[in-house]
Amino acid sequence: MSLFDLRLQEIHKRLNDRSLSVQELVDHSYTRIAEVEPRVQAFLKLDEEGARAAAAQLDELLVKDNSDKGLLFGLPIGIKDNIVTEGITTTCASKFLANYDPIYDATVVRKLKAAGSVTIGKLNMDEFAMGGSNENSAFHPTYNPWNLEHVPGGSSGGSAAAVAAGEVYFALGSDTGGSIRQPAAYCGIVGMKPTYGLVSRFGLVAFASSLDQIGPLTKNVEDAAYLLQAIAGHDGMDSTSAKVDIPDYRAALTGDIRGLRVAIPKEYMGNGIDPEVKERIQEAIRVLESLGAVCEEVSLPHTQYAVAAYYLLASSEASSNLARFDGVRYGKRADNPENLLDLYHKSRSEGFGPEVKRRIMLGTYALSSGYYDAYYLKAQKVRTLIKQDFDQVFANYDIVIGPTAPTTAFRIGEQVDNPLTMYLNDILTIPVNLSGNPAISVPCGMVNGLPVGLQIIGKTLDDAMVLRVAHAFEQNTEHHKKRPAL
């Protein structure tokens, strides 16, 4: 058995009784990375020297201080490479930031360090989080541990693959249009997008600021609750951070969902959903019903407009956020420019990949004079309608469920030349980012040897209910216990 197959409580117990050291956990992580990383390629940067130094300090603390440490103490974690880490290069998987060494930690990284977690390295992603397959990384693709010919999903594909392959105990990702939940579904793990504003975005390199959200990728729901507990909370460094009390997410894992009202949008089970994926979701619905939940079909009528609205809004925000990458202050700087405008042009042309350029151009067009009202403003109005759809459903139901993705992971190279097809893979996850609601993906079965994800969506700030339903489902199935045979 891998050390990383042990439950958090067991590792915690062994660390406190000195039968296990933090150094052994870190050694285990790097040993596993050495075994599988040539095939999976989940990491962009390893910080072995820093991790071993941190492990030595934590082991010394265990000897000196007999007080009980938190459950995350000593656990190896991977960080998506758009979350800044002091002393560890943060590239966003882009040539533009290939030499960027941050001088501070993101708030979530600082919180995890305070909890005693050990950062193993930075994880691969689609460049600037723009993509759904991890094929848009400027450095190399990541491969799905369940089948190395298939994508791990994106943009947090490196984070999902590393957890699925047992390289780290858990990982952090970011979710702008499904970038935690979709790769979690493709890789057969748990991935959660918290309520917008619940987790600080300070230190997250912005893609679309009104949509981006950091969240956990873990092997099971219990671990997701522990990780969310550690990183949630108000942060004065983030102007969109919610000033709310953080409940005990661990206490929500009761396993009891009797009487809960579960909504199943007909739009999430209609055309475009693979029949075998739909079958796994229907099996999951029967599990929830057997536990006492009441499941009924509902409608979210504006779902059909979500993809169009999202790509206008996200691209518009990206064109604004990425204007800071100009070759002047940091990152890629073109050689021998003729003038300032030529510096901007050459630096951005050489530094950005094709998908990033595509979205900057789309966003700039949508925001331009004469098109703002027709595109950007109209997309904002559609966003409001999508939010109202969820509000109306949640007036009568506790939770909304459906597939996380319409299909299982597709083959590498299969869709990379067809961006419109690629965009449609996020049709089931995008509405949640537009509305700001919390959602989680949990494994609910397999199709042709590839995992299927069940998406559970909750009311705004009711992340505890999302975890409660996900945990109840998980405890009554065996899907989360399956591991890829690398």
Whether the per-residue pLDDT at 419 is higher than 90: the answer is no
Whether the per-residue pLDDT at 420 is higher than 80: the answer is no
Q: Of the listed 29, 69, 80, 156, which one is catalytic?
A: 80
Whether the per-residue pLDDT at 44 is higher than 80: the answer is yes
Distance CA 59, CA 66 (A): 12
Residue 346 confidence class, pLDDT cut points 50, 70, 90 = very high
Residue 127's pLDDT is what? Answer: 98
Token pair for 155? 């943009």
Question: 360: which residues sit within 8 A by CB, 6+ positions away?
Answer: 315, 318, 319, 322, 352
Whether 266 sits among the annotated catalytic residues: the reply is no
Least confident piece of the model among 389-393, 415-419, 455-459: 415-419
Least confident piece of the model among 184-193, 325-334, 387-396: 325-334
* Angle of CA points 364, 136, 309, to nearest 5°: 40
CB burial string 443-462: b at 16+ within 10 A, e below: bbbbbeebbbbbbbbbbbbb
Question: 24: which residues sit within 8 A by CB, 6+ positions away?
Answer: 3
Residue 271 confidence class, pLDDT cut points 50, 70, 90 = confident
The answer to whether 307 and 424 have CB atoms below 8 angstroms apart is yes
Residue 26's pLDDT is what? Answer: 98
Average pLDDT for 27-45 = 98
Q: DSSP character for 139?
A: S
DSSP secondary structure of 352-415? S-HHHHHHHHHHHHHHSTTTIIIIIIHHHHHHHHHHHHHHHHHTT-SEEEEESSSSSPPBTTSS
> Closest Cα partner for 217 from 244, 254, 187?
187
Q: Of the listed 94, 155, 200, 435, which one is catalytic?
A: 155
Interval 248-262: pLDDT, tens: 999 999 999 999 999
DSSP secondary structure of 167-187? SSSEEEEE-SSSTTHHHHHHH
Whether 29 sits among the annotated catalytic residues: the reply is no
Question: 482: which residues sit within 8 A by CB, 6+ positions away?
Answer: 188, 443, 446, 451
Average pLDDT for 267-282 = 95
What are 405's strand-pairing partners? Answer: none
Report the share of the chain in percent with pLDDT over 70.
100
Distance CA 5, CA 22 (A): 16
β-pairing verdict for 76-80 and 170-174: parallel
Distance CA 465, CA 473 (A): 12
Whether the per-residue pLDDT at 361 is higher than 90: the answer is yes
Domain ranges of the chain: 3-259+399-481
Residue 417's pLDDT is what? Answer: 77
Helices (H), 144-300: 157-164, 181-187, 221-231, 275-290
Average pLDDT for 202-221 = 98
Distance CA 228, CA 281 (A): 26
Give how far Cα 472 sits from Cα of 287, 360, 425, Å: 10, 42, 27
The answer to whether 268 and 302 have CB atoms below 8 angstroms apart is no
Mean pLDDT of the chain: 96
Cα 464 to its chain centre, rounded Å, is 18
Q: Of the listed 137, 156, 179, 319, which one is catalytic?
A: 179
Whether the per-residue pLDDT at 1 is higher than 80: the answer is no
Distance CA 319, CA 313 (A): 10
β-pairing verdict for 439-447 and 261-265: unpaired
Interval 94-144: pLDDT, tens: 999 999 999 999 999 999 999 999 999 999 999 999 999 999 999 999 999
Residue 68 confidence class, pLDDT cut points 50, 70, 90 = confident
Whether the per-residue pLDDT at 63 is higher than 80: the answer is yes
Instruction: Find the length of the chain.
Output: 486
Whether 80 sits among the annotated catalytic residues: the reply is yes
Helix (H, G, I), strand (E, B) or coil at 288: helix
User: Regarding the domain delimited by 3-259+399-481, which CATH topology (the fold level of the hierarchy) does it fall under?
Assistant: Amidase signature (AS) enzymes (3.90.1300)
